[in-house]
Amino acid sequence: MRWDTADDISNEVLDAVQEGLRHAHLSCGVELQRRNVALLSNLRDRLKRLREDSIAQSNEPYANAAFRAQMVTQATMDFLEMWVLLKEDKPREAWDKLIDAQVRFVIAQKIQFDPDASNLLKHLLAVERVVFPPQTFSSCGYTYNEAFCTICGCKYGECEHVAGHIYMGMICQKEIRKANLLEVSILEDLPKDKRCRVEEYADTGKVFCTLTRREVPQQEPVDPSQRFVRATAIRFD
Amino acid sequence: MPMHVTDYIDVEQRCAALSIPKPEGFCILPRRFEDAQTVSDLRHESSALDLKVLFRRANLPITVYQPDGATIPYLQENDNTWTGPILLLGYAVLTSDPNALAVSLSIIANYLTDFFRGNPEPVRAKLSFVVEVLETETKEKETKTGTTKTTKVIRKRFDFDGPPDELPGFPDFIKDNI
């Protein structure tokens, strides 16, 4: 479909997202979920091109709107893919897709708050708690001497951009080129990135997956006093 | 109650103990400033750089304290809590700009609203202010004039640790306890 006005874009995104969410349930046919993923993927690519064109034309309202639409489309796609991956018995990948969906809806909310998206985020949180077993999270602390702004490339803190804010269809981040790892810890609380979690735990010398509860065969014997075997502490996107 | 107040150490003496110059004006102190053995134990919160930009944009410049000849690194922790730095508001700053405290907190509160926007999980923010105030002591002395008044600078530390939507109550808490 050709886009002539901002309303055209908005309507197409809304229709595609609503149709995607209509199929984002466990009982829905996997072939229908895959078809919606493909349709949303195509729409996301078109929105990405629109955002890039808007950036090239320095049209910030359009670039931000396209970025938001891209995030909402991609998040819906992630959520659908979560169900597909669960049906393919790929729970780790499914978990990551659910967290990606949450993160992208939150980014969309930062650009423009929408009560419907807020309810959807609560739904995704409920899915996390009902569909997956409770997870233990991990994190790492590190130090750095300087960071750089991903918007303008200046030393972070010297320019006017703030990490987490949206500028011309892009999210500002601190680019840390050199860091010193201080510690890796298991968190009592929530992590910044919920993809960082304990993936395997040990019980009486046997190792199990935290998502499937299946035993993970080991080549070496495991110390019976050990509780956590494998965790992800940081993810670079 | 996510706020509390304690007496704070003499910043000048602490700097002398660490062999570093005293911070000037409105500035951000590093973590473990109170008990570090050496300068290499000090770390700035990663959020210090964000606040530096936000305060500059609001015409309230703040310095992230870095002593000459040493670099205090920034610490990034990756839990879901926003950990703000310790902001030192010197007596001279508050005298020249009595609104500095209220403006600072307003900037931070607005920033945190954006920072946590859309987040469906319970959120938490931590932040500290060290405020210098003049304390006047009246002493009975056997002098020709009878009594003498002496003034000295004292410092109080105000900590906030709780949900960011309770941050608007922090300025009044500080004002009531100075």
Inter-chain CB pairs, A–B, below 8 Å = 87
Chain A nearest-CA residue for B45: A143
pLDDT in tens, B81-116: 999 999 999 988 888 998 999 999 999 999 999 999
The beta-strand segments (E) located in chain B are 3-7, 27-29, 44-45, 63-64, 74-76, 81-89, 124-143, 146-162
Q: Please tell me if residue A142 touches chain B, with a CB cutoff of 8 Å.
A: yes
The pLDDT of residue A204 is 86
Cα–Cα distance, A83 to B136 (Å, whole number): 69
Cα–Cα distance, B57 to B41 (Å, whole number): 31
Inter-chain CB proximity B79 and A191 less than 8 Å = yes
The pLDDT of residue A8 is 86
Inter-chain CB proximity A179 and B64 less than 8 Å = no
Mean pLDDT rounded to a whole number for chain A: 93
Domain residue ranges of chain A, discontinuous segments joined by +: 6-131, 186-237
Nearest by CB to residue B73, choosing from A143, A165, A189, is A143
Q: Tell me the whole-structure pTM to 2 decimals.
A: 0.90
Chain B nearest-CA residue for A115: B118
pLDDT band at residue A94 using 50, 70 and 90 as cut-offs: very high
Interface of B with A in 92-111 (CB under 8 A): 111
Inter-chain CB proximity A191 and B80 less than 8 Å = yes
ipTM of the prediction: 0.89
Inter-chain CB proximity B76 and A144 less than 8 Å = yes
- Residue A207 reports pLDDT greater than 90: yes
Nearest by CB to residue A110, choosing from B50, B76, B118, is B118
The pLDDT of residue B139 is 67
Q: What is the mean pLDDT of residues B143-160?
A: 83
